[in-house]
Amino acid sequence: MGTPEFQPSEEWVVLGRTIELSQPANPHSAIPSAPWIMGIVNATPDSFSDGGDFLEPGAAVDRALLLVGEGAQIIDVGGESTRPGAHPVGIDEELRRVVPVVRNLAQQSDVCISIDTTKSQVARAALDAGAHIVNDISGLMFDPDMPHVCAAAGAGVICMHIRGTPQTMQDDPHYEDVVEEVRHFLEMRLTELERQGISRRHIVTDPGIGFGKTAEHNLEILGNISRFRSLGRPVCIGHSRKRFLKKLLGRPVDERSFATVGVSVAVALQGARIIRVHDVAATRDAILACRAVLTKCRVKNAE
């Protein structure tokens, strides 16, 4: 069996800038083709892992800057929990939570900023405040104005698969073939969003780990990243500390960091181009160290 390979480079257009997602995660490293790391900043009281820790704007910005220092190239700011069963948040409250964080972060860092929202008004305000990317768990379907907002701004878009809503998505999800059905959904969304004015070059796909899937469904998706890459767009994976890891290992949420890193390496080896995590430094270091060893393996095998 050959040594696993990191996948070829892929481009993403964000606000008129072409991002080469295969650039080294560490600019001082000679190791190419590591995925970009997206650090999570939840400005919420009820997110499943860190709810309440960064609710105040100052704390959220400090957290974001810490993650940037650890190697995150993207910071994903969210003001509404999307954990299973989470209650919806009103537009005014979500704006109050996220806009000051985005604005202050943009003033203090040139990191790419993503706004994690399904609401077009929140997306527009965040983009005006300095965000570059809209990360929408609904695949830009919950709010009919979202595609227009993203297209008008030229924003980068992360289009995710979900079945149902955060309130209903874990009510006995069923698929005949989860990989093919999720892939088909994403393929249809790429076509529809292009029709609504968003070029495919602006879109990254996300199969939606934990959003309307059982633990077995999640593992099937995580083991078949190539099927989603075959759509021709970069793939983002957001698995950090999620419930399927409890099913797999029996550990509570505050003991899932090591498992998160293991999955991160596995999907990086399959060509995932963005990995969304809470633990940036551990993820970055593990992927780069793995890549360094595999590079030596290839050199030796080629001799």
242 is catalytic: yes
Helix (H) or strand (E) segment spanning residue 94 = helix 91-108
Among candidate residues 229, 256, 276, 284, the one labeled active-site is: 276
Tell whether the model's pLDDT for residue 15 goes beyond 50: yes
pLDDT band at residue 8 under the 50/70/90 scheme: very low
Among candidate residues 97, 124, 242, 243, the one labeled active-site is: 242
The chain-wide mean pLDDT, for the chain, equals: 90
Residue of 197, 164, 199 whose CA lies nearest to 86: 164
Per DSSP, what are the bridge partners of residue 38? Answer: 74, 276
Mean pLDDT over 203-220 rounds to: 96
Residue of 226, 206, 156, 141 whose CA lies nearest to 14: 156
C-alpha 182/C-alpha 172 separation (Å) is 16
C-alpha 177/C-alpha 58 separation (Å) is 44
276 is catalytic: yes
The pTM for the full model equals 0.90
Residue with the larger pLDDT of the pair 209 and 298: 209
pLDDT band at residue 31 under the 50/70/90 scheme: very low
Using DSSP's 3-state secondary structure scheme, residue 233 falls into coil
Mean pLDDT over 239-260 rounds to: 94
CA 141 to chain centre: 17
Summarize pLDDT for 273-284 with one digit per residue, the tens. 999 999 999 999
CA distances from 36 to 109, 200, 222, 233, 299 (A): 17, 19, 17, 15, 24
